[in-house]
């Protein structure tokens, strides 16, 4: 009979762990009693044990769907090193090897069989309700177009439950917002799945966002007191990783660029250098970090804003794995948002991605505790301010921005709602540039009515207004700004607008890099 004492002693025996991590035991117990589960656990939370342990205890073979052929072999090797009979099945194997795997499957010699979703169809005819113990779907968010990593081959996994209604299906992911969680359950056809949501809170990570102006001096200031610490700077493009790494090198820092365009040898050298503390600073595209196990990364900087919160969370999560304090810093600029939007425009999942980008932008612009905003996104609700983010440490000052909002509204109105943000700001500030004069905008009534506000500040304020729903940006139409019904209320019905003052943050950022 299977009991809790049994699972614990097997955990010790096979994996050498003295106790379960949060949620592991509950997931194991569910699977053992034949239930479907979805487990959302942060990276490093210990998902593997959740299906590996039941795989050992149940008769038959556990089929593990895993998207990364490269990691499959490592996992199988690690299991075998623990004396567990595991194999993988994928397209890189010769037919001979594949046949051998199938024969071992028939003879019940394998407890865990890892398979790429693309190879599942070859395997299915060899599976039946007597030789399969469970289906574990790793990186289950790949099934959902709502996920950030959609893999078409995952969509066929819905047929598993259909074909084998009595075999438990266990879905695992580290990155799923609530919409994606629901979509995974729907697509895997496991409506009665028990949901296990481990905490995503990484209390030791300081969360900070700064305006993306003067990034290099800010980074240099940031690095000044962190000479021996390891950290990662994420950039959007390969080119900018190289430029930034060069600049840091010229200032005497040991920094290397890393991106998917490098030769394999270089990539290995740089990764190893980072892991072994020879190269403290890596300037990378998001290609860097997957599968790198380094516990003492002390900081992560986002030179550019990631395109969604999942990516952001995963990337900042590479710091502070040892539980000691770590710093994360995100630079946020409207130019980045525009660029990300352009990438997304060409994508087949455009609408999903735009919605996710908007959530990311809202997070970057949050004026209250960032941890609350971040965890909310993953469906985890905390009510206390974290006291370990920029907004908790220096809460923004609010001021009555009604008059300013009215000025902006009327400028947009007088520009016939045809002009993008930049032109609206130029007109409000009474700019004398050629585009303004060519169109005769120097003659309209609102020209120059906000000339006392610096350009970038005015831009930030208008973005706050956009986020409050006062204007809308038509990205397909030259980025022109449109008034919404809320704008009418502000103009004509005395509706008030609260804006966060930018002064405090900008001053502290400026102060820090002047020092």
Determine the Cα–Cα distance for residues 73 and 466; give it in Å rounded to an integer.
48
Rounded to a whole number of angstroms, the minimum distance from the CB of residue 140 to ligand ADP is 12
- By a kind-dependent CB cut-off of 5 to 8 A, residue 41 interacts, out of ligand ADP, Zn ion, none, with ligand ADP
Classify burial at 338, counting beta carbons within 10 Å of its beta carbon; exposed 0-12, middle 13-18, buried 19 or more.
Answer: middle
Q: Which residue, 389 or 463, has its beta carbon nearer to Zn ion?
A: 389
- By a kind-dependent CB cut-off of 5 to 8 A, residue 45 interacts, out of ligand ADP, Zn ion, none, with ligand ADP
- By a kind-dependent CB cut-off of 5 to 8 A, residue 280 interacts, out of ligand ADP, Zn ion, none, with none
In 3-state terms, what secondary structure has residue 299?
A: strand
Q: Which residue, 275 or 491, has its beta carbon nearer to ligand ADP?
A: 275
Q: Which residue, 55 or 466, has its beta carbon nearer to ligand ADP?
A: 55
Rounded to a whole number of angstroms, the minimum distance from the CB of residue 133 to ligand ADP is 19
Rounded to a whole number of angstroms, the minimum distance from the CB of residue 43 to ligand ADP is 4
CA 267 vs. chain centroid, Å, equals: 23
In 3-state terms, what secondary structure has residue 344?
A: helix
CA dihedral defined by 5, 8, 9, 11, rounded to 10 degrees?
160
Rounded to a whole number of angstroms, the minimum distance from the CB of residue 468 to ligand ADP is 38
- By a kind-dependent CB cut-off of 5 to 8 A, residue 369 interacts, out of ligand ADP, Zn ion, none, with Zn ion
Contact 99/21 with Cβ under 8 angstroms?
A: no
Determine the Cα–Cα distance for residues 143 and 8; give it in Å rounded to an integer.
32
Q: Which of residues 60-89 bind Zn ion (CB under 5 A)?
A: none
**Binders of Zn ion: how many residues, by CB under 5 A?**
5
Rounded to a whole number of angstroms, the minimum distance from the CB of residue 204 to Zn ion is 13
Rg (CA), the chain: 26
Q: Which of residues 12-71 bind ligand ADP (CB under 6 A)?
A: 17, 20-21, 24, 41, 43-49
Q: Which residue, 41 or 233, has its beta carbon nearer to ligand ADP?
A: 41
Give, to the nearest 10 degrees, the angle between helix 24-32 and helix 47-57: 30
Q: Which of residues 341-370 bind Zn ion (CB under 5 A)?
A: 369
Q: Which residue, 248 or 369, has its beta carbon nearer to Zn ion?
A: 369
Q: Which residue, 316 or 458, has its beta carbon nearer to ligand ADP?
A: 316
Q: Give me the residues paired with residue 482 across strands.
A: 472
Determine the Cα–Cα distance for residues 136 and 95; give it in Å rounded to an integer.
25
Query: Longest C-alpha distance within the chain, in Å?
Result: 86
Q: DSSP H helical segments within 33-87, as ranges?
A: 47-57, 69-81
Q: Which residue, 265 or 293, has its beta carbon nearer to ligand ADP?
A: 293
Q: Which residue, 50 or 392, has its beta carbon nearer to Zn ion?
A: 392
Best CA proximity match to 223, nearest among 242, 251, 195? 251
**Binders of ligand ADP: how many residues, by CB under 6 A?**
12
φ, ψ of residue 23 in degrees (nearest 5): 80, -20
Q: Which residue, 48 or 328, has its beta carbon nearer to ligand ADP?
A: 48
Q: Which residue, 39 or 337, has its beta carbon nearer to ligand ADP?
A: 39
Determine the Cα–Cα distance for residues 378 and 195; give it in Å rounded to an integer.
13
Rounded to a whole number of angstroms, the minimum distance from the CB of residue 33 to ligand ADP is 20
In 3-state terms, what secondary structure has residue 413?
A: helix
Rounded to a whole number of angstroms, the minimum distance from the CB of residue 514 to Zn ion is 26
Determine the Cα–Cα distance for residues 427 and 409; give it in Å rounded to an integer.
12
- By a kind-dependent CB cut-off of 5 to 8 A, residue 49 interacts, out of ligand ADP, Zn ion, none, with ligand ADP
Where b means 16+ CB within 10 Å and e means fewer, 89-116 reads bbeebeeeebeebbeebeeeebbbbbbb
In 3-state terms, what secondary structure has residue 249?
A: helix
- By a kind-dependent CB cut-off of 5 to 8 A, residue 386 interacts, out of ligand ADP, Zn ion, none, with Zn ion
Pattern 372-411, Zn ion, x by CB under 5 A:
--------------x--x--x-------------------
- By a kind-dependent CB cut-off of 5 to 8 A, residue 392 interacts, out of Zn ion, ligand ADP, none, with Zn ion
Rounded to a whole number of angstroms, the minimum distance from the CB of residue 14 to ligand ADP is 11
Contact 51/93 with Cβ under 8 angstroms?
A: no
- By a kind-dependent CB cut-off of 5 to 8 A, residue 44 interacts, out of Zn ion, ligand ADP, none, with ligand ADP
Rounded to a whole number of angstroms, the minimum distance from the CB of residue 30 to ligand ADP is 17
- By a kind-dependent CB cut-off of 5 to 8 A, residue 360 interacts, out of ligand ADP, Zn ion, none, with none
Determine the Cα–Cα distance for residues 305 and 236; give it in Å rounded to an integer.
8
- By a kind-dependent CB cut-off of 5 to 8 A, residue 20 interacts, out of ligand ADP, Zn ion, none, with ligand ADP
- By a kind-dependent CB cut-off of 5 to 8 A, residue 46 interacts, out of ligand ADP, Zn ion, none, with ligand ADP
Q: Which two tokens stand for residue 183?
A: 């979509």
Classify burial at 235, counting beta carbons within 10 Å of its beta carbon; exposed 0-12, middle 13-18, buried 19 or more.
Answer: buried
Q: Which residue, 46 or 395, has its beta carbon nearer to ligand ADP?
A: 46
**Which residues of this protein are in contact with ligand ADP, per CB under 6 A?**
17, 20-21, 24, 41, 43-49
**Which residues of this protein are in contact with Zn ion, per CB under 5 A?**
369, 371, 386, 389, 392
């Amino acid at each position: 009979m299977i009991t809790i004492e049994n699972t614990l002693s097997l955990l010790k025996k096979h994996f050498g762990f003295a106790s379960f991590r949060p949620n592991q035991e509950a997931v194991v117990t569910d699977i053992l009693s034949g239930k479907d589960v979805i487990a959302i656990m942060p990276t490093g939370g210990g998902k593997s044990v959740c299906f590996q342990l039941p795989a050992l205890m149940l008769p038959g073979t556990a089929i593990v769907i895993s998207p990364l052929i490269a990691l499959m072999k490592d996992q199988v090797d690690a299991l075998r090193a623990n004396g567990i009979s595991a194999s993988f099945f994928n397209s890189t194997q010769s037919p001979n090897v594949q046949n051998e795997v199938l024969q071992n499957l028939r003879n019940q010699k394998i407890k865990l069989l890892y398979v790429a979703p693309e190879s599942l169809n070859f395997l299915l005819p060899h599976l039946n309700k007597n030789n399969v113990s469970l289906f574990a779907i790793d990186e289950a968010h790949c099934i959902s177009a709502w996920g950030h990593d959609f893999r078409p081959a995952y969509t066929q996994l819905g047929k598993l439950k259909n074909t084998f209604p009595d075999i438990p299906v266990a879905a695992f992911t580290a990155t799923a917002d609530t919409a994606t969680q629901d979509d995974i359950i729907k697509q895997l056809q496991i409506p009665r799945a028990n949901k296990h949501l481990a905490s995503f809170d990484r209390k030791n990570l300081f969360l900070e966002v700064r305006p993306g102006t003067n990034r290099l001096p800010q980074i240099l200031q940031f690095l000044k007191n962190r000479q021996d610490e390891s950290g990662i700077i994420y950039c959007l493009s390969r080119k900018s990783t190289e430029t930034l790494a060069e600049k840091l090198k010229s200032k005497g820092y040991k920094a290397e660029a890393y991106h998917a365009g490098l030769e394999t040898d270089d990539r290995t050298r740089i990764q190893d250098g980072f892991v072994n503390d020879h190269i403290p600073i890596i300037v990378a595209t998001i290609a860097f970090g997957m599968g790198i196990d380094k516990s003492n990364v002390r900081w992560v900087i986002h030179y550019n804003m990631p395109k969604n919160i999942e990516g952001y969370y995963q990337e900042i999560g590479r710091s502070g794995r040892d539980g000691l304090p770590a710093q994360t810093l995100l630079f946020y600029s409207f130019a980045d948002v525009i660029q990300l939007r352009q990438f997304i425009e060409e994508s087949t999942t455009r609408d999903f991605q735009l919605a996710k980008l908007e959530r990311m932008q809202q997070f970057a612009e949050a004026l209250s505790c960032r941890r609350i905003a971040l965890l909310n996104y993953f469906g985890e609700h905390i009510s206390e301010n974290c006291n370990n983010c920029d907004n908790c440490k220096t809460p923004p000052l609010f001021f009555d921005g009604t008059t300013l909002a009215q000025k902006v509204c009327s400028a947009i109105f007088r520009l016939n709602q045809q002009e993008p943000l930049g032109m609206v700001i130029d007109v409000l500030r009474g700019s004398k540039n050629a585009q303004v004069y060519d169109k005769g905008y120097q003659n309209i009534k609102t020209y120059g009515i906000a000339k006392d506000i610096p350009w970038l500040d005015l831009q930030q304020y208008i973005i706050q207004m956009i986020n409050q729903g006062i204007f809308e940006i038509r990205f397909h139409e030259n980025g022109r700004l449109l008034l919404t019904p809320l704008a009418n209320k502000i103009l004509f019905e005395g509706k008030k607008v609260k804006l966060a003052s930018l002064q405090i943050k900008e001053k502290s950022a400026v102060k820090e890099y002047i020092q």
